[in-house]
């Protein structure tokens, strides 16, 4: 804590008072520390795929290229690592845009139930590999909310793809939409391994992963939920998690409903 004192005095008159401004230095330090950590994380996340690519390219140069068995596999690894870096850089650019307020949401009215059905239809196509079932508990009542379609798609995509990534084979993912006072509430539940209580608050932080090795092997950047959080807030909503370790995870978010002009159409 830092203190600044100012004396309140009219010309050479008597001293009328003293103002003390207490300034929270720890807050400033925290921001600085977060920034340093962020840069260290970005560097690490980029270095890992780059060093992997370097060693595979070296192996190709040292002869693997002429081996018809090995060459395509090694090229495939370098391609995957490139894809991973592109995803990471895209996520970083998006967060940086959000941070600098250099973006505008273009809101339009959408029937949110319909919107969710379309997203789930798309995920059902790719979920077949892992034998994942989707259960839709979506109110049949038309639920018009104002959303930026692209951004909202990204929010829901990030949450559903996590639910799928962390689901066991044959798991069930439940998507719920209901009205709750002045909000609509969306939830996405899975039957995956869950998140220990002490880690739950942190999953919306940038680069936070409960299990780094596993998260990386399933292809995450550690930024998906951080982006979802920023974008939900930009829509005037809240996002949170409820999870039982070993049993499953539910991500909830809300969107304002009747507070928007028109509310229900
Ligand atoms: P990632 O790209 O690593 O998935 P996210 O920001 O999307 O990053 O999520 C952060 C971390 O939260 C994940 O690495 C994982 O540890 C945890 N997590 C997110 N969703 C789930 C879920 N449905 N089940 C279990 N853990 C999850």
pLDDT per residue over 5-51, tens digit each? 777 777 777 777 777 777 677 888 888 988 899 999 999 999 999 99
| pLDDT tens-digit series, residues 44-53 | 999 999 999 9
Q: Are 165 and 210 in contact (CB under 8 A)?
A: no
Distance CA 69, CA 81 (A): 20
Instruction: Determine the distance separating the centroid of ligand 1 and the alpha carbon of 160, expressed in angstroms.
Output: 11
**Cβ of 239 below 6 Å from ligand 1:** no
Closest among 108, 122, 131 to 160, alpha carbons compared: 122
Pocket lining: 56 vs ligand 1, CB cutoff 6 Å: no
Ligand 1 centroid, distance to 190 Cα (angstroms): 12
CA-based max dimension of the chain: 93
pTM of the model: 0.84
- Is 224's C-beta closer than 6 angstroms to any atom of ligand 1? yes
Is the CB of 187 inside a 6 Å radius of any atom of ligand 1? Answer: no
Please tell me the predicted confidence (pLDDT) of residue 166. Answer: 92
Ligand 1 atom at shortest distance from the alpha carbon of 190: 23
Q: Provide the strand spans (E) within the chain.
A: 2-9, 15-23, 108-111, 133-138, 144-147, 172-180, 183-190, 239-244, 248-256
Nearest CA among 191, 151, 181 for reference residue 256: 181
CA of 113 from ligand 1 middle (Å) equals 25
Ligand 1 atom at minimal distance to the Cα of residue 226: 6
- What is the percentage of the chain residues whose pLDDT exceeds 90? 72
Q: Is 248 in the pocket of ligand 1 (CB under 6 A)?
A: no
CA of 65 to the centre of ligand 1 (A): 37
Answer yes or no: is pLDDT of 262 > 70.
no
Round to whole Å and give the CA distance between 209 and 192: 15
* Token pair recorded at residue 147: 């959303």
User: For the chain, what is the radius of gyration of the CA atoms?
Assistant: 24
Closest atom of ligand 1 to 188 CA is 23
Atom of ligand 1 nearest to the CA of 227: 6
3-state secondary structure of 158: helix
Please return the burial class of 24, using the count of CB atoms within 10 Å of its CB with bins 0-12, 13-18 and 19+. Answer: exposed
Apex 193 CA angle, 188 and 196, nearest 5: 95
Q: Is 246 exposed, middle or buried (0-12, 13-18, 19+ CB in 10 A)?
A: exposed
Q: What is the mean pLDDT of residues 137-149?
A: 94
Instruction: State whether the beta carbon of 192 lies less than 6 angstroms from ligand 1.
Output: yes
pLDDT digits (tens, 9 = 90+) for 98-135: 998 888 899 999 999 999 999 999 999 988 888 999 99
CA distance 175 to 195: 19
């Amino acid at each position: 804590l830092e203190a600044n004192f100012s004396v309140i005095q009219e010309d050479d008159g008597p001293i009328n008072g003293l103002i003390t401004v207490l300034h929270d230095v720890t807050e400033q330090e925290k921001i600085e520390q977060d920034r340093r950590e962020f840069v260290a994380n970005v560097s690490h996340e980029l270095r890992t795929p780059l060093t992997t690519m370097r060693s595979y390219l070296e192996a190709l140069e040292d002869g693997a290229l002429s081996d018809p068995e090995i060459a395509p596999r090694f090229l495939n690894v370098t391609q995957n690592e490139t894809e991973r870096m592109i995803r990471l850089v895209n996520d970083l650019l998006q967060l940086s845009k959000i941070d600098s307020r250099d973006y505008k949401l273009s809101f339009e009215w959408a029937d949110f139930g319909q919107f969710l059905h379309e997203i789930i239809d798309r995920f059902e196509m790719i979920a077949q590999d892992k034998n994942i079932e989707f259960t839709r508990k979506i109110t049949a009542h038309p639920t018009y909310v104002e959303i930026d379609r692209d951004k909202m798609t990204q929010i829901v995509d990030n949450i559903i793809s996590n639910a799928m990534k962390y689901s066991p084979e044959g798991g069930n993912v439940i998507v719920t939409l209901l009205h709750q006072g002045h909000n609509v509430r969306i939830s996405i539940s899975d039957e995956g391994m869950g998140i220990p209580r002490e880690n739950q608050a942190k999953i919306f932080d940038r680069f936070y992963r409960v299990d780094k090795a596993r998260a990386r092997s399933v292809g995450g950047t550690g930024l998906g939920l951080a982006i979802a959080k920023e974008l939900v807030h930009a829509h005037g909503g809240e996002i949170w998690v409820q999870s039982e370790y070993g049993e499953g995870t539910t991500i909830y978010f809300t969107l304002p409903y009747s507070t928007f002009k028109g509310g229900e159409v």
